[in-house]
Structure 1
Amino acid sequence: MKTVLITGASSGIGKTTAIFLAQNGYNVYAAARRVERMEELKNFGIKPLFLDVAKEDSLVACVEQILAEAGRIDILINNAGSGYYGALEDMPMSDAKYQFDVNVFSAARLMQLVLPTMRANKYGKIVNISSIGGKVTLPMGVWYHASKFAIEGLSDALRKEVKQFGIDVIVIEPGGTKSEMTGLGTEYLNRISGETAYGHLAKGISKMYAATEKNASDPIVIAKLIKKGIEAKCPRTRYAGASGAKFMLFLKTILSDRIFDKLVMSQMK
């Protein structure tokens, strides 16, 4: 039985994936700050753990506990994420740094912590949840997109480093997926930029999110992609799915930057 650690497991993609993998025979440790929201996961044989990904001691304690109990971590799913939106000019640098801490540096630190055991076992799957926002950008999302571009590049470089040890690095690029992050991000956007020189763009982004939220995919779509990736003998480097993902990535590949920018901005009105 393979042992899985998944972060950000108190809601959305993380929670759904934890349940789905447990139902399919995996030994799942679900980690998040809001442990009280993971109590129901125990009904599926899942072990909830407290984890604040922004704190070093919490990251170390989480991994050490799993290794002490299970003896190994076969699959790491870096799902915890922060989705603050706001104009670059308006956002405090402290919030920008926090977004990188959660979306990039905490994920990298967890990879450091699990790699020695994976190398020793000559087996491992590292799954990094990116976004189509790691390839396609929207205005007001500078720091979110920068962090997702970073996790894509980090994954590409790491893949080449650890392949020799039997470890695969897989990137998941969700499109529109039902998540509380959208609501939280929109609230932050309107608070930070709603009444500034960028207010018209903030309103446009908010309207677009409200419209796309209606067509957002259930997180099970991404959970199934993750399962497909970790069970493939030779997994693809990237799996994209959920509402609008493949179409937007296709347009990005065939259109020039300027034309793609015009297409994106036409949705902001």
Structure 2
Amino acid sequence: MSQKVALVTGASAGIGEATALALHDLGFTVYGGARRVERMRPLEQRGVRTLALDVTDERSAREAVDRILIDTGRIDLLVNNAGYGSYGAVEEVPIDEGRRQFEVNLFGAARLIQLVLPAMREQRSGRIVNVSSVGGKIHTPMGAWYHATKFALEGFSDALRTEVADFGIDVVVIEPGAIRTEWGGIALDRLRAVSGQGAYAPLADAVASAMSDERMADRASPPSSIAMVIGRAASTRRPRTRYAAGFGAKPLLALRRVLPDRAFDALVRRALR
């Protein structure tokens, strides 16, 4: 695998950082991209090549892909991991913030896919791994915009898979459950700022309490558990179309498959009590 080349977005922390290291250990030539370049110095020390990458900026995305192709002449794996969650009641989250989440979680991934596909088609091989979430299949209050982006990424990935199969390109979706990363803190801070006062405050408090529950935090899986799954999806000959991993992922997805909408709604509300 020493000739395989991978680009991992959001590589400055969490799942992205762990994935870059896991792929490097598997023998990939790994480029880790993130806005916070200074936070990727530990990756550089381990042999990962780092580059400045803002997935919402056209010039940044194009320059990142061009650099990889100039350096190596190929790209075999794109891991779209960059993303975030900003919580709050639908009525209270500014539309600009909703758009921002789509720009990062969906359109940024889509643009990088467009940029790497020509090289993958020419190679007649390639793999695109989109990091979604159990939140791309289930729903929780205060997370409408986040869930919308992940539901969209799931559908986008399914359609893309059927378009590029004839070129030897695989598309894989990763659906993490609860993972110990900065994601929860960012979502929680935004939730309290947007909906901590007013009509939705009681529900926001309940969601915030659930998100900050120390028992839940203790059970959350480390980012390396998802990195290991991504490594498997990247290196196996015929990957599955979806991998669910991390604390609670498989039970939650199973419940969502079998429960009617209102029954699942009731389950979520009961958990928040």
TM-score of the two chains, using structure 2 as the length reference:
0.97
Q: CA deviation at 1:214?
A: 2.3
Partners of 1:91 and 1:214 lie apart in 2 by 30
Q: 1:57 aligns with which of 59, 70, 93?
A: 59
Structure 1 segments of 4+ aligned residues over 4 angstroms from their partners = none
Aligned pairs (5 A) from 1:246-265: 246-265=250-269
Match of 1:86 in 2: 88
Q: 2:227 aligns with which of 223, 230, 234?
A: 223
Pairing of 1:185-196 with structure 2 (within 5 A): 185-196=187-198
The 3-state SS of whatever aligns with 1:72 is: coil
Q: Give the equivalent residue in structure 1 for 2:124.
A: 122
Once the two structures are superposed, the pairs formed by residues 168-183 of structure 1 within 5 Å of their partners are 168-183=170-185
Query: Structure 1, residues 33-78: CA drift from partner, whole Å, max 9, x if none?
Result: 0000001111211011001111111111111111111111100000
Deviation at 1:196, TM superposition (A): 2.0
After superposition, where does 1:152-163 map in structure 2 within 5 Å? 152-163=154-165
Q: Deviation per CA, 1:204-245, whole angstroms, max 9, x where unpaired?
A: 111111222221100111011111111222211100000000
Matching residue's letter, 2:205? K
Counterparts of 1:213 and 1:140, CA distance in 2: 19
Q: Which of these residues, 14, 17, 32, is aligned with residue 16 of structure 2?
A: 14
Partner in structure 1 of residue 272 of structure 2: 268
Look up the SS of the partner of 1:214 in the other structure.
helix
Aligned residue in 1 for 2:32: 30
Q: Indicate the SS of the match to 1:217.
A: coil
Q: Which residue identity does 2:211 align to in structure 1?
A: Y
Which ranges of structure 1 fall in alignment gaps of 5 or more residues?
A: none
3-state DSSP of counterpart to 1:195: coil
Secondary structure in structure 1 of the residue aligned to 2:212: helix
- Alpha-carbon separation, structure 2, partners of 1:167 and 1:47: 24
* Aligned equivalent of 1:111: 113
CA drift at 1:24:
1.8
Name the SS of the counterpart of 1:226 in structure 2.
helix
Shift of 1:256: 1.1
1:2 match: 4
CA contact (8 A) 1:204 1:267 kept: no
Cα RMSD, aligned residues only: 0.7
Structure 1 window deviating more from structure 2 (110-119 vs 199-208): it is: 199-208
Structure 2 CA distance for aligned equivalents of residues 205 and 42 of structure 1: 38
Matches within 5 A, 1:123-138: 123-138=125-140
Tell me the percent identity.
50
Count of residue pairs the alignment pairs up: 269
Give the alignment partner of residue 75 of structure 2, picking from 59, 69, 73: 73
Gaps of 5+ in 2: none
Q: Distance in 1 between matches of 2:166 and 2:263?
A: 41
1:149 equivalent to 2:184? Answer no
TM-score, length-normalised on structure 1? 0.99
Give 3-state SS (helix, strand or coil) of 1:137's partner: coil
The one of 39, 42, 45 equivalent to 2:44 is: 42
